[in-house]
Structure 1
């Protein structure tokens, strides 16, 4: 059935570059905002009607395809997306979302929980229209993405996440260097993966390197590679990550921990578009999209001398802050339910969160953010028999974590060596701060690089 736009033709500011196609009754909730946005809408009741009319639909030109996820199989959606010139919105509940999570994580469309939030939908429709107009003017391919409840590997429907999704959608259409900052555990690497998935580099490799976890003397070699015999131990040619990533996306994680000498060389590479292997005499060009990330405030890192100001300006052509979990409201409960569902699927269990557990999760301050939430839920699922209540959640005392009086202490057995005592102290501090390595390093008065070095040593000892 065809539905014309609600706006009279004379009152429209412009002609929509898209028509809208609604497939399935569950997606009918988008009819009103689509009409009010000026879309001409066609609704198709079911998949048989859609497949029978595929030849006609292919001739429609650019289409905004709105699909009821509960009523349509992922294979059909994938076929439609590959056949039609379309933007894709999936609408459904959490059960249907699990079937489409893989498609969305690869940058195919976006998922909107049911019922749709009309104000947000209207803003997204405006974004889609503006992008379609720009693509029409420039003759460029349109992006296949809109920020929704799932954006690539990211989940969340809170206002801070929706704002970030809209920014990331635009950032993905650019090759400008992006700086991502946020607290430990917020998902900065997932943000980078989302930008990669929706960008023109999405079919190419995604590579990440942790600048704090590499010994200082090896950082340059890991970034740019080295020639055989360029230094002691260089027994063969080694390709650095700038070379390995090709035309993909390169994430420089913990960029503020990079040695200053390497920061100078990185700046030169970013400005010239070329690098030279250690011990080499030939310049190589790189074609990757570069993204930097840090768990520090980059402006404060510049003021404190950790990050060169000139490098910061080059890295922050685009800049985004990942919101901490405590600012995301009901996302905490939604993510918890998602993590429980994943545990159930992997372990053939049927667990649920009780209301008191949800209240406890909402009231907690989450110093370790989503990473800590994941660990808490995994532990609770492992120990709970059926329903997960507040007592099942391994949450540290909130007043102690917030800076109040704490009776916590670290017990070090007599006879422990200094190295053993150090390991106990570091692991205890990690547990107290929910895995936030930056807070642990600050509390212990050591650098983040030193902390990573110690943790790597403990891991090696455990493997022996």
Structure 2
């Protein structure tokens, strides 16, 4: 049976009652208070084996109290609760030495489990100095998905572990990597970002590791690489799935031995950088296709972080929109608000471009419209209205009648779509919305059929090769070239 005395501080009597009952049933002795002064007195008297405290209390903020607690009783674990569920709350909790941060509302079973872990295996947290309050919050969102990200980042801040960030384009992978650096132990060092997809393949090794004078045609002087530029800090390798095999072999050596050689050089150079990688591709598929080294994948994938697409956290859209409107207002544009209809339409949109697309929309609204309040009709016109949600099956042929032609299937779906509007009609722009919904899967299927060969795919579709390339870029389609 668990045992131990828990000091509970929260100014909400209902929360104190619920937690008191749950913890008492679990076998713990609980002393509860509504203020920080009493909590501090108990701590100073040597009472309690663990603290559970809300952040905001009537007489003192728990973040101000935490450093005094850790100085007086460094081994006393503190669990912080907060309804202010932001990235900065999680970071402050970690910086002040909290054992765990739990956003409200939380699951009581999870709380009891955290208490059990804290009492059975107390651990010291990072004693890194706080970075101070900052007006610009690097990550925004109160959804459960983002709370999980915040808590993972808070645990990673005091470490040098290699992190692999996955997620669709526009989800904020570089923003997360920058947060890991800015609030981590290497914050005093440089943050260097390099996009593998933006560098010609033949120049990637030189860009990453540098080159010596005369190493190749045009190398008229020694050039420092990104590893040297990031020394003592963080190197962010974006779109790691586009790294050629030769560069992958060099990177693997860096991760294994902590050293590298420049292109054309012979003397190994020791390096001290934290690697954060990111990709919007499935690296396991690339491994099966022989395009990515499996041993490198395991070296990079020490701590995987998946960023959810915006459509999986639509409850964050109001906070994100307010955040971006505040940013553009600081840039000199007028303040805007979204009415209820506009917000509802934004929540029903699929957001193929994710948070980046939302930010671009906010900037257009602030710059192009004189209205202080943005209506649903404006949102429809800017987003070309809501894309029609075409049902996608997870396996070939699922839910499809083989005898039914494509036009018959589309007609059947559109009849169902129109019936959902009852006495009203869908918003204007239906023709272009349908084309947008079908264009992506059509091009994707053509590329898959031609094994990623864009010349053959363009011929198959009957479009110009440059047109196809532009479509692939605009639709953010992944192209993987394989051989038969």
Same fold per superposition (TM over 0.5): yes
Matched, 1:387 2:410: no
Distance 2:300 2:114 in 1: 26
Residues 313-349 of structure 1: per-residue CA shift (max 9 Å, x gap): 2222332321111111312233223323443455474
Residues 132-165 of structure 1: per-residue CA shift (max 9 Å, x gap): 75454xx6747999xxxxx973222323333444
Q: CA deviation at 1:20?
A: 5.5
Describe the SS at the equivalent of 1:290.
strand
Q: Structure 2 unaligned segments of length 5 or more: list them.
A: 71-76, 131-135, 392-409, 411-429, 437-463
Q: 1:72 to 1:380 in 2, by over 3 A?
A: farther
Q: 2:310 aligns with which of 325, 333, 338?
A: 325
Q: Which has the larger displacement, 326-335 or 163-172? A: 163-172
Matched, 1:257 2:245: no
1:210 counterpart residue number: 195
Distance 2:304 2:110 in 1: 21
Q: 1:124 to 1:214 in 2, by over 3 A?
A: farther
2:117 counterpart residue number: 130
Distance 2:143 2:220 in 1: 52
TM-score normalised to the size of structure 1?
A: 0.67
Is the 1:34–1:41 Cα contact (8 Å) retained in structure 2?
A: no
TM-score normalised to the size of structure 2?
A: 0.65
Q: 1:190 to 1:238 in 2, by over 3 A?
A: same
Is the 1:242–1:286 Cα contact (8 Å) retained in structure 2?
A: yes
Is the 1:58–1:83 Cα contact (8 Å) retained in structure 2?
A: no
Q: 2:54 aligns with which of 63, 66, 80?
A: 66
Is the 2:345–2:386 Cα contact (8 Å) retained in structure 1?
A: no
**Match runs of 1:352-391 below 5 Å:** 352-384=337-369, 385-391=371-377
Highest CA radius of gyration, 1 or 2?
2
How many pairs were matched up?
Answer: 395
Q: 1:288 aligns with which of 257, 266, 273?
A: 273
Q: 2:227 aligns with which of 215, 233, 242?
A: 242
Distance 1:206 1:41 in 2: 46
Distance 1:340 1:58 in 2: 49
Is the 1:63–1:84 Cα contact (8 Å) retained in structure 2?
A: no
Q: Structure 1 unaligned segments of length 5 or more: list them.
A: 1-10, 146-150, 411-420, 448-464
2:139 counterpart residue number: 154
Distance 1:277 1:57 in 2: 60
Distance 2:163 2:138 in 1: 18
2:322 counterpart residue number: 337
Q: 1:103 to 1:182 in 2, by over 3 A?
A: closer
Q: CA deviation at 1:368?
A: 0.4
Q: CA deviation at 1:216?
A: 2.3
User: Greater RCO between the two (CA within 8 Å, min separation 6)?
Assistant: 1
Matched, 1:297 2:282: yes
1:414 counterpart residue number: none
Q: CA deviation at 1:181?
A: 1.2
Q: CA deviation at 1:256?
A: 0.7
Is the 2:56–2:62 Cα contact (8 Å) retained in structure 1?
A: no
